[in-house]
Amino acid sequence: MKLAFSTLGVPGMPVADVVRLAAGNGYQGVELRAHPEEPVHPGLTPAERAAVADEFKRGGVEILTVAGYVRVAAGGEDEPVLAELAALVELAHDLGAAYVRVFPGGGDQDPAEADAVAARRLGAAAPYAADMGVRILLETHDSHRAGADVARVVGTVGHGQIGAIWDVMHTWLAGEDPAASHAVLAPHLGYVQVKDIASAEDTTPLPLGAGVLPLKECLDTPAADGWVCWEYEKRWYAGAPGLPELLAAGREHLLRLGAPKQ
| Domains and their CATH numbers in the chain | 2-257 (3.20.20.150)
DSSP label at 144? B
Beta bridge partners of 65: 31, 99
Give tens-digit pLDDT for 104-161. 999 989 999 999 999 999 999 999 999 999 999 999 999 999 999 999 999 999 999 9
Rounded-to-integer distance, Cα 24 and Cα 229, Å: 16
Strands (E), the chain: 2-6, 29-33, 62-71, 99-103, 135-139, 162-167, 189-194, 227-230
Percent of the chain past pLDDT 90, that is, above it, reads 95
Q: What angle do CA 9, 13, 15 make, to 5 degrees?
A: 115
pLDDT tier, 258 (very low <50, low <70, confident <90, very high otherwise): confident
Task: Please compute Rg for the chain using Cα positions.
Answer: 17
Assessment of whether the complete model's pTM goes beyond 0.85: yes
pLDDT tier, 262 (very low <50, low <70, confident <90, very high otherwise): very low
DSSP assignment of 30-84 = EEEE--TTSS-STT--HHHHHHHHHHHHHHT-EEEEEEEEEETT-SS-HHHHHHH
Rounded-to-integer distance, Cα 207 and Cα 189, Å: 25
pLDDT tier, 90 (very low <50, low <70, confident <90, very high otherwise): very high
pLDDT at 224: 72
pLDDT tier, 186 (very low <50, low <70, confident <90, very high otherwise): very high
In whole numbers, what is the pLDDT of the chain averaged over residues?
A: 96
Give tens-digit pLDDT for 198-215. 999 999 999 999 999 999
pLDDT at 223: 78
pLDDT at 261: 47
Q: What angle do CA 127, 81, 46 make, to 5 degrees?
A: 70
Residue 60 C-alpha from the chain's centroid: 20
pLDDT tier, 259 (very low <50, low <70, confident <90, very high otherwise): low
Rounded-to-integer distance, Cα 168 and Cα 176, Å: 10
- Phi, psi of 166, rounded to the nearest 5 degrees: -95, 100
pLDDT tier, 260 (very low <50, low <70, confident <90, very high otherwise): low
Residues 22, 62 contacting (CB under 8 angstroms): no
pLDDT at 35: 95
Burial 171-192 (b: 16+ CB within 10 A, else e): bbbeebebeebbebbeebbbbb
Give tens-digit pLDDT for 220-230. 988 778 999 99
pLDDT at 122: 98
Rounded-to-integer distance, Cα 10 and Cα 33, Å: 10
How much is the average pLDDT of 54-58?
98
How much is the average pLDDT of 12-27?
98
Strands 189-194 and 99-103: unpaired
